[in-house]
Every structure is written in structure tokens, then in C-alpha cells.
């Protein structure tokens, strides 16, 4: 099936570079999220890589008539207007699952924001899961799977490694991309 999905991506002149590590639990961050097409390309890339993913999505996506579809794809609805407890809920889901590959767009939106959301980092720390970096390289029309990062007690050092990976890549709508930085780094 992986070959089929790579062919489908190729029809759109997209491809996948790299492989997801053979781990049972991980957080994959996919950036730069600047277009609705990112979701489609990301889902195709996951299939091409042979990875069954879960993803967080705005709770309104899970309403009728398409809610069943997003759940079938692995979606987990998140109400961003009520931020309290989301990290704990996701960490609990990690603990109870045998396998959990959670993909998060760290920007949290397609619009420009001054900071990335820290949820991906907090979930990785809370669950002891590694962070796998994946970039949407729109200029080359590739999804690039990069290094795996184990979080440390030094958020800035961890983010420096993440920034280094994402520096050469641009999303489909680069003017909408924010900088690769967590608010906690400036506090």
C-alpha cells in the first residue's frame, strides 16, 4: 500500500523524503502549517510512510456532516477555547494506548502567529515520547521527515535543534508562517 500512496502523491508532483522511526509512541510535529492543503498532503504522506497517525483538530471539524470522516482518519477534537486539561487528556490517551503516533501542527493554525503553541513539547515531556520533526517543503514539493529529538530540561536548546531543522523550509503560503519559537523561551 505504501507504494500506492507514494504514486498518488507523485500524481500531484509531491514526494516523501526520509522515514519515521520504528517506535510505538511519538509526537510528530509537521510545519510550516500555512494552507488547507497541508492536511491533505500530510495524510497522504502518512499513508506513503505506512504510519497510522492520530491528529488534533479544531473541534468544529468534528461536527456534522464530516465529523465521522475526520474521526476515521485518526482525528481527536480539541476545543481551543477551553485550554485547561488538554495536555493531561492527551497524556492519558498516550498512557492507555499501546501505539500512539500523534501528529501536531505546532503553529496551531494556518494564520501567522508570533509563537508556536507549546502543546507538542508539553505532551512529549509529559509522556516521555520523542519528537519527530517533519517539514512541508513546498518549494521542492516534498514532505521531509527529519531527526528524532528527545526533550531535555533546556527548552531553548531543544528548540534550537528544532529551528535548525526547519530553517531551510517554507510552507505553501510562506507569508503566513510565524517564527519557530515558543513563548516560554521569551519569559
The per-residue pLDDT for range 92-102, each reduced to its tens digit, is 888 889 999 99
The whole-model pTM stands at 0.90
Residue 109, pLDDT > 80, answer: no
Kind and range of the H or E run holding 166: helix 155-166
d(CA 172, CA 100): 28
Over residues 171-178, mean pLDDT: 87
Residue-range definition of the domain harbouring residue 37: 2-178
Residue 131 lies inside a defined structural domain of this protein: yes
- Percent of the chain at pLDDT above 90? 65
Number of structural domains, the chain? 1
Q: What is the pLDDT of residue 92?
A: 84
Residue 81 lies inside a defined structural domain of this protein: yes
Residue 183 lies inside a defined structural domain of this protein: no
Residue 146, pLDDT > 90, answer: yes
Residue 187 lies inside a defined structural domain of this protein: no
Residue 98 lies inside a defined structural domain of this protein: yes
Residue 84 lies inside a defined structural domain of this protein: yes
Number of helices (H), then strands (E), belonging to the chain: the values are 6, 7
Amino acid at each position: 500500500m505504501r507504494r500506492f500512496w507514494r504514486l498518488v502523491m507523485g500524481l500531484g508532483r509531491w514526494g516523501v523524503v526520509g522515514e519515521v522511526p520504528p517506535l510505538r509512541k511519538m509526537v510528530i510535529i509537521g510545519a510550516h502549517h500555512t494552507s488547507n492543503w497541508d492536511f491533505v498532503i500530510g495524510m497522504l504522506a502518512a499513508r506513503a510512510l505506512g504510519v497510522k497517525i492520530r491528529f488534533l483538530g479544531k473541534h468544529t471539524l468534528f461536527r456534522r456532516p464530516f465529523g465521522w470522516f475526520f474521526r476515521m482518519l485518526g482525528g481527536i477534537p480539541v476545543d481551543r477555547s477551553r485550554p485547561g486539561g488538554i495536555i493531561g487528556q492527551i497524556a492519558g490517551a498516550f498512557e492507555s494506548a499501546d501505539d500512539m503516533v500523534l501528529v501536531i501542527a505546532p503553529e496551531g493554525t494556518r494564520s501567522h502567529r508570533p509563537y508556536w503553541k507549546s502543546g507538542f513539547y508539553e505532551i512529549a515531556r509529559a509522556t516521555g515520547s520523542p519528537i519527530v520533526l517533519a517539514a512541508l517543503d513546498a518549494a521542492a514539493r516534498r514532505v521531509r521527515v527529519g531527526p528524532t529529538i528527545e526533550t531535555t530540561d533546556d527548552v531553548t536548546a531543544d528548540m534550537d535543534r528544532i529551528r535548525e531543522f526547519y530553517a531551510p523550509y517554507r510552507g505553501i503560503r510562506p507569508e503566513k508562517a510565524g517564527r519557530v519559537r515558543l513563548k516560554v523561551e521569551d519569559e
